[in-house]
A and B are shown apart, each in its own frame.
Chain A
């Protein structure tokens, strides 16, 4: 399944290109606890891969390994031809907890990644307004995080990641901490931004709807120790937008992911802690 999924030509978003991210036989332990084993998948340079799985299955740990924040024990992660053991340039992460610095304004937070990458002052001054505007925060350049709603804070977190113009975006349940309406708005904003500047994206979520709406493929992880249970091709028409939600095919795919996930979730739920 994994091998065939990787070789299937992606309809519009990634036709025939070499994958940008390759994850081979990845395994990770926390002491005696095995979090996941034998994770294999690829992500194309202009592809969104969504990862869903029962809670506690290590989705977030997997993403942190791919960002180089956590070391992995077995296997390898390649971005382009670079092996990931530490965070590497060209990869940016958006965090569930937003991770904004409360003492910095929107502009300063957005500039953070650029500054750390050694961008010149002129470069920062030119780029920051572009990305602040892109995420819809124009007019709030000098606001502090405490003055903003959760949705606005995550827009700022997204702008900070986009500002370094990464070829890979890692999204760690980015909309899990905002309310339902804001979440929907942000999903479509993200699609619009991705269509403007497509990148490779790994999107971890526990919302099946979100995974099917955003992902070109959805990876369903299984329970502990987790591994890739199934990779489901999402053959919805591009560009994705609000109309996508009304397609019969959308409902079908959502059901399919749901059925796969529920088998896993039920097994994972009825396990006693050792």
Chain B
């Protein structure tokens, strides 16, 4: 990740990228190959034939990706995660900003936020399923619950550490309270907000999968569960790989958004 950042910053770094990339690329490739070969060998020697191994997973990929049930399940889960994240982002940002800038708000909310943040999301599932039924409503609530507290905590940290210089300028130019909060504190907290959002995205994905396991409702998590229970381990594993891919994809998305819309970030201070 770090060499990607550098390369994107200056043209001269792009020239220096190639030798460094090959320097880290080969060891990376070797480690990956050793892991895969070890896995293949161990499973072939010791495990029953239905246990997933790299060769069968690779062969299962085309079939799984073109399977309409798999596509629907993936779309279903992703839509739920996106929806839950959007809600968590908006509400979490507002609460975080208020907590960061108002001591009264901070002291009344702090312990609840920290407590809920530390609470394993799986323990709320039985409760949520009582309130919202065995439905996508419960999954949505779980995603929001999983995501919102890391956003609140990070945004509050960001809002607290806004440089005093900015606030002084805002006051000198007679800015209103709300324009300080959304015009100064929010953009100044963007790096923190992004860090919180990245954490939240990972947690939201976990929340969605766990909810699907628990509730047996359609989605990628349930697809994985169903296939591994029907001895289709290779197919289940394609789903697992896709979840890992989402993590990487999301990281890249955040990086691109940062570069495109916040060129000043990482260069100031």
Q: Residues of A with Cβ closer than 8 Å to B? A: 67, 69, 86-89, 92-93, 95, 97, 99, 101-103, 112-113, 116-117, 144-146, 164
Contacts and interface: CB of A to CB of B under 8 A. Distances in A.
A260 to B, nearest CB: 31
Interface of B: 165-166, 168-176, 179, 184, 187-188, 190, 262-265, 267-268
Contacts of A116: 170, 173-176, 179
B168, B174, B188, B262: most-surrounded residue (chain A CB, <10 A): B174
Nearest to A100: B169
Contacts of A146: 264, 267-268
Contact of A87 (B174, B190, B265): B174
B169 A99 contact: yes
B209 to A, nearest CB: 36
B189 to A, nearest CB: 11
Given A101-B184, A102-B264, A103-B264, 13 more contacts: A67-B172, A69-B171, A87-B171, A89-B174, A92-B173, A95-B169, A97-B165, A101-B169, A101-B188, A103-B190, A116-B173, A145-B268, A146-B268
Per CB-CB distance, the 10 closest pairs between chain A and chain B, nearest first, are: A99-B169, A102-B268, A146-B267, A116-B173, A102-B264, A103-B187, A113-B173, A97-B165, A93-B172, A116-B175
A95 B165 CA distance: 9
A88 B172 CA distance: 8
B173 to A, nearest CB: 4
A28 to B, nearest CB: 17
Contacts of B170: 116
Nearest to B170: A116
A102 B165 CA distance: 12
A60 to B, nearest CB: 11
